[in-house]
């Protein structure tokens, strides 16, 4: 059940990284500057839908674990300074969760309902409507300061909560990268550090909208199926729609469908298939 609790809280962690942009602009291209624009006192709400299916086979026995989470998260902008640096509080306002495991009853819970949360969901209920973290970011999305008020596992979305933007103007084809390090928990060891890189590329650019493709690359050579199986949830690709005029993300979608053979002996396999959709609910 700890895994199911992590789905709601995973989005609060943010990884700071340097942004390296490749300048592909030219005078003949449509060029735009991408910046976050926040107003002190405003609240930005986002609807989030997460679906995941894990299929594990060991010694001829296959088990399925299916989860579905629909939630609403908010950013409350508490301060914006003269340089455009914004301090915001991140909250989860509502959550509806479902989990289903082979040969077990389906578990459902809606935070708006009157029923007490099932075992393992109590932590989610306690965190609803309360600041999970307080962040100060600049107009490019770089984290200046962060305070976490609730413990949370690493994000399994394969992407940062605040999408980083390059300093330079962008055109169609412009790319930038953000490095990251994932600590993989391996039973019987202290953990293994795996270097990854998020790569962003502008694929469409209009007057008010930028479409950005994102994908994840594992830079550290991984030859161990057990380590590879622990990375399944962290290697995502997707698409982001950014409003240039309003200075915020309109929508974001990421997905993964990967399988690892031999993670628990030669006759074993694990498949992880998941999607995450975010859509701006209010401005």
* pLDDT at residue 207 in the model: 86
Domains and CATH numbers, the chain: 2-280 (2.30.230)
Contact 197, 216 (CB under 8 A): yes
pLDDT (tens, 9 = 90+) of the chain, 283 residues, equals: 433 334 334 433 333 344 555 554 454 479 999 999 999 999 999 999 999 999 999 998 999 999 999 999 999 999 999 999 999 999 999 999 999 998 888 999 999 988 888 887 778 888 899 999 999 999 999 999 999 887 765 554 445 678 999 999 999 999 999 998 888 887 777 788 999 999 999 999 998 999 999 999 999 999 899 999 999 988 899 999 999 999 999 999 999 999 999 999 998 999 999 999 999 996 5
**In angstroms, how far is CA 187 from the centroid of its own chain?**
25
> Hey, which residues does 165 pair with through a beta bridge?
none
Q: CB count, 10 Å around CB of 58?
A: 14
State the DSSP string of the chain.
-HHHHHHHHGGG-------EEE----TTS--B-------TT-EEEEEEEEEEEEEEEETTEEEEEEEEEEEEEEEEEEEE-TT--EEEEEEEEEEEEEEEETTS--EEEETTSSSPPPTT-HHHHHHTTS-SEEEEE-TT--EEEEEESS--PPPSSSS-SS----SS-B-TT-EEEEEEEEEE--TTSS-EEEEEEEEEEEEEE-SSEEEEEEEEEE-S----HHHHHHTGGG--EEEEEEETTTTEEEEEEEEEEEEEESBTBTT-EEEEEEEEEEEE---
- Cβ neighbours for 221, distance < 8 A, ≥ 6 positions apart: none
The pTM is what? 0.84
Give the CB-side neighbour count of residue 7, counting CA atoms within 13 A: 26
Question: Tokens 């006759």 correspond to what residue?
Answer: 267
Q: Which of 126, 120, 124 is nearest to 107 (CA)?
A: 120
Phi and psi torsions of 9, nearest 5°: -95, -10
- Residue 104 to residues 2, 64, 225: CA-CA distances in angstroms? 17, 10, 28
Contact 211, 203 (CB under 8 A): yes
């Amino acid at each position: 059940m700890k895994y199911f609790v992590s789905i709601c809280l995973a989005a609060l962690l943010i990884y700071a990284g340097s942004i390296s942009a490749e300048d592909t602009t030219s005078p003949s291209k449509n060029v735009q500057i991408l910046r976050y624009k926040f107003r002190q006192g405003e609240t930005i709400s986002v609807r989030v839908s997460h679906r995941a299916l894990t299929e594990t086979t060991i010694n001829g026995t296959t088990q399925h674990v299916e989860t579905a989470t629909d939630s609403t998260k908010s950013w409350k902008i508490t301060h914006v300074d003269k340089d455009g640096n914004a301090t915001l509080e991140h909250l989860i306002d509502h959550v509806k969760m479902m989990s289903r495991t082979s040969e077990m009853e389906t578990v459902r819970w809606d935070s708006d309902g009157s029923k007490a949360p099932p075992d393992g969901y109590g932590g989610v209920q306690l965190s609803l409507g309360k600041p999970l973290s307080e962040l100060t970011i600049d107009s490019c999305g770089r984290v200046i300061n962060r305070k976490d008020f609730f413990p949370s596992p690493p994000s399994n979305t394969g992407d940062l909560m605040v999408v980083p933007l390059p300093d330079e103007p962008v055109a169609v084809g412009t790319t930038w990268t953000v490095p990251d390090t994932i600590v993989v928990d391996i039973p019987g060891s202290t953990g293994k550090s795996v270097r990854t890189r998020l790569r962003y590329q502008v694929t469409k650019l209009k007057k008010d909208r930028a479409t950005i493709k994102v994908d994840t690359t594992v830079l550290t050579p991984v030859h161990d199926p057990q380590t590879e199986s622990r990375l399944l949830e962290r290697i995502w690709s997707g698409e982001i729609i950014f409003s240039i005029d309003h200075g915020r993300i309109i929508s974001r979608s990421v997905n993964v469908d990967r399988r690892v053979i031999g993670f628990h002996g030669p006759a074993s396999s694990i498949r992880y298939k998941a999607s995450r959709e975010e859509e701006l609910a209010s401005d």
